[in-house]
Amino acid sequence: MGVQETAEAIRSMEIRGAGRIARAGVRALCEVAEGHQGGRDELLRDLEEAKEHILSSRPTAISLWNGVQAAMHGVDRLEDAEAVRARVVDNSRAFIERSERALESIGRIGAKRISDGDVVLTHCNSHAALSVIKEAHRQGKRLEVIATESRPWRQGIITVNELAAEGIPVTMIVDNAVRSMMRSVDLVLVGADTITSSGVLINKIGTSQIALIANEARVPFLVCSETYKFSPITLFGELVEIEERGRAEIIGDADVPDSVTVRNPVFDATPPEYIDSIVTEIGMIPPFAAYEVIVKILGHDYIFENKE
Ligand code: RUB
């Protein structure tokens, strides 16, 4: 898939989920480098253009930004095209491998928090959250999952199909049923599109309501997130742009007059106070440690070079 096709597939949500869009964007950049016949400056210009194109596909998940920055890391300092090509290919492969390994580590670390007989509620379709659930199941723990439908895209259907295929008992509910069901839930596990330097979680619309309800019912609320979903640019005061999509996704072919405004924000913000812990590949961290993760794991170099 080339850059245009990848960006379009991300925009149209054929490829979706913060981890998957990051890997797809990085793969597309890697292919630009691999197939390039031109000189250094031309290659750098084409990579820069491809990067901007990929980044314009969806605005909210910082994973995409972190992924393409990682793929391009250090290329400006290189003096010939071959070195740039090799660097982008190496960077890209390393990012993709790290991101896949991170999912496995998150599965192993998070599974420790699931006890035999637990009922886990999850929202939307997060590979990181599913990695934890599947690992607990592989370890022989009996668990049940409640999955929200996740209007309007209904990613819950992907989730229940994935879990059913693994033989994990799963119940699907409409988003509005979360509070009614919370009394039978032991643990909430969700994914992340972005985590800010102050520990705010940006994830699928409805996540913050679930966090409030879990807090009210004293049910632990855990976020499953690779460290490349932490946002370095929020350190410098950038706000996270919440994507708004079209009205048709909500009303479908229902007869609603044009005079009616339909809003379709697809992500929301959950404050750190409602998050018990973030399961990352480097361990379970409190949301207030997000700053440390950004500075220590993503690194000074990385942050300051890519600040703009
Ligand atoms: C998906 C979503 C997921 C996160 C994390 O939204 O909000 O919870 O992206 O997913 P959309 P993962 O369907 O609009 O992309 O853990 O797979 O990276």
What is the tens place of the pLDDT at every residue in 167-176?
999 999 999 9
Residue 303 has pLDDT above 80, yes or no: no
Domain with residues 3-102, CATH architecture: Up-down Bundle (1.20)
Query: Which stretch of 16-25, 116-125, 183-192, 294-303 has the lowest confidence by average pLDDT?
Result: 294-303
Q: Report the interhelical angle of 127-138 vs 81-111 (nearest 10°).
A: 50
Atom of ligand 1 nearest to the CA of 124: 8
What is the tens place of the pLDDT at every residue in 124-149?
999 999 999 999 999 999 999 999 99
Rounded Cα gap, residues 230 and 273, in angstroms? 17
Q: What is the mean pLDDT of residues 166-193?
A: 98
What is the tens place of the pLDDT at every residue in 62-93?
999 999 999 999 999 999 999 999 999 999 99
Residue 202 has pLDDT above 70, yes or no: yes
- Give domain limits for the chain: 3-102, 112-305
pLDDT of residue 305: 60
Neighbours of 257 (CB within 10 A): 5
**Six token digits for residue 235:** 């350190």
DSSP E strands in the chain: the ranges are 119-122, 144-148, 170-173, 187-190, 194-195, 201-204, 221-224, 267-270, 277-280, 283-285
Catalytic residue among 116, 175, 186, 193: 193
Which residues form ligand 1's pocket by a CB distance below 6 Å? 16-19, 61, 124, 126-128, 153, 155, 191-193, 203-204, 266
User: Ligand 1: which of 58, 204, 244, 250 to mutate, most ligand atoms within 8 Å of CB?
Assistant: 204
Rounded Cα gap, residues 188 and 148, in angstroms? 11
80 is catalytic: no
* pTM, two decimal places: 0.95
**Six token digits for residue 267:** 């992500």
Rounded Cα gap, residues 264 and 257, in angstroms? 16
What is the tens place of the pLDDT at every residue in 151-165?
999 999 999 999 999
Residue 188, beta-bridge partner list: 121, 221
30 is catalytic: no
Atom of ligand 1 nearest to the CA of 225: 16
Contact predicate 145/171, CB 8 Å: yes
User: Ligand 1: which of 13, 16, 57, 125 to mutate, most ligand atoms within 8 Å of CB?
Assistant: 125
What is the tens place of the pLDDT at every residue in 247-290?
999 999 999 999 999 999 999 999 999 999 999 999 999 999 99
**Sequence-ordered list of residues with C-beta below 8 angstroms from that of 127, at least 6 positions apart, any chain:** 17, 19, 20, 103, 191
**Six token digits for residue 13:** 């949500």
The superfamily in CATH containing domain 112-305 is: Translation initiation factor eif-2b; domain 2 (3.40.50.10470)
The candidate with the shortest Cα–Cα distance to 102, out of 90, 114, 110, 113, is 110
DSSP string, 55-77: HTS-SS-HHHHHHHHHHHTTGGG
Q: What is the mean pLDDT of residues 13-23?
A: 98
- Return the exposure string of 101-126: e unless at least 16 CB atoms fall within 10 Å of the residue's CB, then b: ebbebbbebbbebbeeebbbbbbbbb
Q: How far is the CA of 111 from the centre of ligand 1 (A)?
A: 19
pLDDT of residue 308: 47
pLDDT of residue 297: 82
